[in-house]
Structure 1
Amino acid sequence: MDPLITRRALNRATLDRQFLLRRADLPVLDVVERLAGLQAQTPHTWYTGLWNRIEGFKAADASELLENRQVVRVALQRSTIHLVSGRDCLAMRPLLQVVTERSTRGAFGRQLEGVDLDELAALGRSLLEERPMTFAELGRTLGERWPSHDPHALGQGVRWLVSLVQVPPRGLWGRSGPVAHTSAESWLGVEAPPMTAAELVLRYLAAFGPATVRDVQTWSGLTRLAEVVEGLDLVRFRDEDGRIHYDLPDASRPSTEISAPVRLMYDFDNLFLSYADRSRVISETGATALRGFMGTNVMPRIILVDGFTAGDWTVTRAKGTSTLNIHQWEPIADLDAVAEEGTRLLEFLAPRDKHEIAVFDHPSKV
């Protein structure tokens, strides 16, 4: 019988691989690749994700990588925007294109009927390589060729058919800009062999394992990965509900006795988006609290205490003072540790402001 792995053991293994048990003394690019990318749906909050994981992290280091084209923001896993290295962008995109195809056909398939997709891809690529454009600009220009079709659908069709990166200054620390796109190939100017499904699974397990087949599929957006996973040289565990988890044979699985430090996570952190069963980090109280955010169009910034969800945080700014607001989902025993980490976070986010900490219960969410 497969050996048992407890929820706490899954928690500690995951935190270790996500650099959340201890910050890594590694270059930003190495961390981004070892995490197989960070979800970067917003232009800037992912910087906090790197701050949580890298000792002495400076936002300018990541911003410089983005400006120098060593990392990019591109639609990959789950057809969502991820920050990845240029190498991973080119390697992952051909494999994950089917995920964007599925979502685009579901949302815009009817509006794209009658459009020659090869022509759409070629024209869209040509336009964006000539000059980066927003989807609104691209759609209007494509509409000159297909005047009877919805411009937004035409732009989204190009997003599916061509690997598009968001170009700076969008995403640079302390700066902003339009959501303008060009092709990954022209922006990066290099080639990389496409990644296989087996290679993607191994990258996932290195960053998120141990995990089930459904977990891998949730993270990637791919389907029918059972045969791929079962064909790899992996170890197996059985969790407390009887689910089979796979892992790399030589991967680190720390003792459950190791304590986990407080972490103030950003709103789209892959720690919470990359599992079919999120109970390895989300407590029952946390699951109830998160349901309270459904329909609000708000992704909470979650507080981890001893590796599990305990609340969320926000920052408000007024008259030169930044206040970190701690919203407890359940009573937090060591509020001092949360406040200390919150102060360090404010020093990163708003170094020139005065800093304050406010603590609130969160009855509406629990």
Structure 2
Amino acid sequence: MRDINSLRFCVAPMMDWTDRHCRVFHRHITRHALLYTEMLTTGAVIHGDRTRLLGFDQSEHPVALQLGGSDPRDLATAARIGADFGYDEINLNVGCPSDRVQEGRFGACLMAEPELVAACVAAMKRAVTIPVTVKCRIGIDDQDPEIALDRLARAVVAAGADAVIVHARKAWLNGLSPKQNRDIPPLDYDRVYRLKAALSDVPIIINGGIGSVAEAKHHLAHVDGVMLGRAAYQEPWRLLDVEAEIFGQPAQPRSMKEVFAAMMPYIARELASGTRLHAIVRHFVGAFHGVPGARAFRRHLAEHGVRAGAGIDVLVDAIALLEERSGAIAA
């Protein structure tokens, strides 16, 4: 089993959000959080443009690759490719409820096939030396979460899984959209706590509906780690509290202004290599949520960041507009 302290706080894998630019941004806010890629299918990893799909900045460590698939051989191959690229963990998605995922026989529908998931984990463990983990739901559709989650967790742990990350909701594959599945099924944190009590030697990480670092700290009284999703992306300033509140380390950086100052060299390098500014700054829109001037900051990025040839001055000007309206980040 891995060092549990390394799992105390994670930023969730989120489709269309946690790309490499987002992860570099988050890494500049928190040094110790474990970051995750968007889910990549085994087919994309094996047959696609690997440099484009898997490439990441070295500053992102520790960073995990999340895979979607259900064929043990393909998952083993994709895991080996990810390990060769330098990822610190391989995670298997057993929680995504989208129609496309179901058609491919992976994601949340695999909750109904714990033996297959176990075979996938075993194949990946044989292929790599880095940790292999599983992210799942507490159940799907009419499954009893007391039975379904226990059965899946015990199967993958027996197969060698180094940790189990549980989104504390069911996924309703029949009748709810992926968006609705993030909100409508009720949260059941106690079910995840009971899993941890039953599997005391297994790292268990909780996910789902956690809105702040303070809430995360509360969960750590019951489980080994907490994974923050939408709150981390939509209000990234919340991550400024992670070092002090979760890891007991001095807060550094201390403000979003310091974060952006540290980001500038990365942005300049990316622009010089042909990356469009919008691809990076689209992840910044919630950086000053609730601060006077935040709307002007967002509007400036939205209007000017998408223009062809937009440069780093757009971000500098957006920050200046914010500072004109508020002294909140001047320190």
Normalising by the residue count of structure 1, what TM-score does the alignment of the two structures yield? 0.28
TM-score w.r.t. the length of structure 2 is 0.30
Rg larger for: 1
Report 1 or 2 for greater relative contact order, CA contacts < 8 Å, sequence distance ≥ 6. 1
Bigger helix fraction = 2
